[in-house]
A and B are shown apart, each in its own frame.
Chain A
Amino acid sequence: MSSEKKQHTVQTTGHAWDGDLQEFNNPLPNWWLWGFYATVVFAVIYWVLYPAFPIGNTYTKGAFNEITYTTADGKTKTSHWTTRALLMQEMQEARELQKPYLEKINKTGYEQIAGNKEQSSFAYSTAKVLFADNCAACHQAGGAGVIGMYPNLADDAWLWGGSYAQIEESIRKGRNGNMPGFKASLSAEQIDNVAEYVLGLSGIEVNKDKAAQGKAVFEGAGTCHVCHTKAGSGQFAMGSANLTDKVWTFANVPAAKTLAEKKTAVKEVVANGFGRHMPAWNGRLSDVEIKMLAFYVHQLSAGK
């Protein structure tokens, strides 16, 4: 189309701005016009197939586009098209694909899972993701924890027990670790002596006389042995720490260089105590997910 031809055949919109500014009233290009008609047709088809128009307190639900799904309880339901029903269908498909594996995990004991390559790799890789979503915020990505806050899951020391059943119980029900502070009931000297004794328990060289006095407080006025036992080895039933190993979950003894610094760290815990809380995962994760997580956590410490 030449500009010369345009001037002869195309009408203007009829009004002029600033004296001589006019607009051509060109017809729309055909590709645009048919594109527009196509969107109108699309809209009509969409109105028929999908939920669209409100009518009073309800709405048109769409036709010829039903979604049938089976719930986790095994009930089959049919619904008009909705994203929630779509999710139910998607979850059902995933459930059916995983079912053979999960059923096997459900039926099999922990020891057998560990011995079966297919099952252990399925449980391990599934639980690795669960661990990252649910556990790593406290226990850190590799399970090493944060000293003074969250216990290390990758070492061989356990507060609440490291058997499969004990780990599963910890995950399922959560844990409340609590040690009272003793600054009100013990003198500064007594606390000092107890710290000396406790450090000696894990093989650190200490003053023998002070430690002996500390032992008397440990088993006497301090009542430390009630939770930590006379030998200082702790009890899984109440989550009391084993004081005879070289692992420290609260007082940062390994980071302290001198005996005095180590003692300050221990004294701080004896004087003030602490409370630690692990939430329960029972409502958040399914039984089989908890089982796979327990397996994974057990594996983190190489099964010890």
Chain B
Amino acid sequence: MKHETIETNAGWLIALTLVVISIGGLVEIVPLYFIDSTVETVKVAGKDVVRPYTPLELRGRDIYQREGCYVCHSQMIRPFRDEALRYGHYSLAAESQFDHPFQWGSKRTGPDLARVGKKYSNQWHTQHLIAPRSVVPESIMPNYPWLMNKSLSYKDIGNRMRALKMVGVPYAETQAEYDANVKRYGKEVADQLDINKAEENLLAQAKNGNYDGDISSISEMDALVAYLQVLGTMVDFKQFEDGHFAEFR
């Protein structure tokens, strides 16, 4: 094909430009799928500790995305001293392996949330989401009072888990998949990842956790706080010696 043909034919020019540009992306991204240490192995006593979200946490994550929390909050602690001192251990690739899409972010208007789990009480999160300035006077975060009044819709939770299963999140539907999860995570976690028990698990977690302090109904607040409280808590870094995860890079 002559150069002139490409330059005088807009269709060819667009197609071939796209090919040339995507080479730049592909050579950077594709090898990561084949390099062993891209996603760190994080096992305690032979079991994987980073697990997919429970049904309630998953609904909370959906609400997190619906409300656009990611516009202001990142979930990615970078390996710098200032971030280590403020937020804690840097984020591992393994910790966001079940996030579709990931919530890393590249701009922070609010603080990073990668390790916000268990840092504050459920009560604080509920109050802070309803009226942020009642607890943090200098905050510019909007109020989200409706989360408290809107009851959580969870009838489609099974389908939501099935959709994630299609992209590789190990939720289980068959006995064989359940058994594999028992082997990988232990029984307690495997039970939570069972799609057949999704609704039952969601209701039980919301009832036992009572995240929004109102036991009479399951609100969207329950789900969102359950999600926030699990962020960054799956890996207990005290179980690993200092510098362990540096060896994966």
Contacts and interface: CB of A to CB of B under 8 A. Distances in A.
Interface of A: 15, 51, 54, 56-59, 69, 71-73, 75, 77, 79, 82-88, 90-91, 94, 133-134, 137-138, 140, 146, 149-150, 275-279, 283-284
B120 A279 contact: yes
B249 A73 contact: no
B123 A149 contact: yes
Given A84-B249, A88-B243, A91-B84, A283 B236 contact: yes
A143 to B, nearest CB: 14
B135 A134 contact: no
Given A69-B243, A87-B79, A87-B90, A137 B35 contact: no
A137 B81 contact: no
A57 B36 contact: yes
22 contacts: A15-B4, A54-B32, A57-B34, A58-B37, A69-B243, A71-B242, A75-B242, A77-B243, A82-B246, A84-B79, A85-B246, A86-B79, A87-B246, A90-B80, A91-B84, A138-B124, A149-B123, A149-B127, A150-B135, A276-B121, A277-B121, A284-B88
Nearest to A281: B119
B135 A137 contact: yes
A79 B247 CA distance: 8
B134 A146 contact: yes
Nearest to A79: B246
A134 B127 contact: no
The 5 closest A-B pairs by CB, nearest first: A54-B31, A84-B246, A82-B249, A71-B242, A72-B242
A85 B121 CA distance: 34
A278 B37 CA distance: 38
Nearest to A94: B81
Contacts of A69: 243
Given A84-B90, A88-B246, A279-B118, 19 more contacts: A54-B34, A54-B35, A57-B34, A57-B36, A59-B31, A59-B35, A73-B242, A83-B79, A83-B249, A85-B246, A86-B79, A87-B90, A88-B242, A91-B81, A94-B81, A140-B137, A276-B121, A276-B123, A279-B119
B134 to A, nearest CB: 7
Nearest to A277: B121
Interface in B28-68: 31-32, 34-37
A131 B63 CA distance: 30
Nearest to A136: B136
Contacts of B36: 57-58
A140 B139 CA distance: 12
Given A91-B81, A277-B122, A71 B236 contact: no
A58 B80 CA distance: 25
B81 A90 contact: yes
A58 to B, nearest CB: 6
A219 B228 CA distance: 42
A82 B38 CA distance: 13
Contacts of B155: none
A137 B34 contact: no
B100 interface: no
Contacts of B88: 284
